[in-house]
Amino acid sequence: MKKILVIGSLNLDIVVRVDHMPEVGETIVSKDMEMIPGGKGANQAYAVGKLGNSVALLGAVGKDAYGDILMNSLCQAGADVSKIAKRKENTGLALITVNGEGDNSIVVVAGANSTVDEAYIDENEDAIKDADIIIFQLEIPIETVLYAAQKAKKFGKTVILDPAPVPEEFPEELYSYIDVIKPNETELRMLIHENKDIIDLIQATKTLREKGIKDVIVTLGERGVFINSEEAGIVEIPALKVNAVDTTAAGDSFTAALAVMLSQGKDIRSAAEFANKVASIVVTRRGAQSSIPTKSEVYTKLG
């Protein structure tokens, strides 16, 4: 089993549930509020650990109670948090609104995540050298992601990017350091600068493949998963029919599960099929890290 390193964000998710998303200028009443450990980096590290794989996380929290909640949650999943920095800035927050259909909208307050810089990456270069697969997202400074991804490729590591949120200026150089990219359909559209509501998935993913990426995996929600792969070619994986109540962390758990299967020598199609199963369980449960299953749960429920 190969070692996985996640470099990314840690946020405390403050989740409110509503009948519908508020319009501009509208005030509505929430049914309830929860504080749940989250952040795309932390979610992915938690999921890797929960699925039984060795994982470490590089990131930053504040010296506050929110940071303690995040660290404790990761430890419960077996993640190595020894290199997470503690900063004077507040721990990052994500303000999440979830409607009656389980769809969400998210506002992120970066906080300590904004301090994950090149100097911090240099301080923890050994963690990069020690890992086999490195996962990135884009809730820490994009300059840091570019720098760390370049370093990861220099050391011969497999690099997976979950390109969320897509920045206004996505550095073209970053593509040359990525082995696997996993956007959803909206993120894919933003990456290729396409304004149409409906896009040609083959052509869109080909555009990213031409930038040097081996595997492009697009998650399509209830329409399943689309893959354009150097190894597997074009593959479509149907969605599993489930009763979705909350899509929070579905994408993060997919990315983590994909990395876990790749770390165990599975091919890209098999890895994506397993990841699809994991995400289909996550959307049937509320919360971020609290919704992520163990590997045995996945096989018990979905085979």
Q: Which residues, listed in sequence order, are joined to residue 93 by a DSSP beta bridge?
A: 12, 109
What is the DSSP secondary structure assignment for residue 257, as one 8-state letter? H
Would you call 165 helix, strand, or coil by DSSP?
Answer: coil
Q: Half-sphere exposure of residue 30, counting CA atoms within 13 Å on the CB side?
A: 11
How many C-beta atoms lie closer than 10 Å to residue 32's C-beta? 9
Catalytic residue (choose from 80, 179, 215, 252): 252
Residue among 203, 209, 196 at smallest CA distance from 268: 209
Q: How many residues does this entry show for the chain? A: 303
What is the per-residue DSSP string for 45-90?
A: HHHHHHTT--EEEE-EEESSHHHHHHHHHHHHTT-B-TT-EEESSP
| Known catalytic residue at 252 | yes
Residues tagged active-site: 252
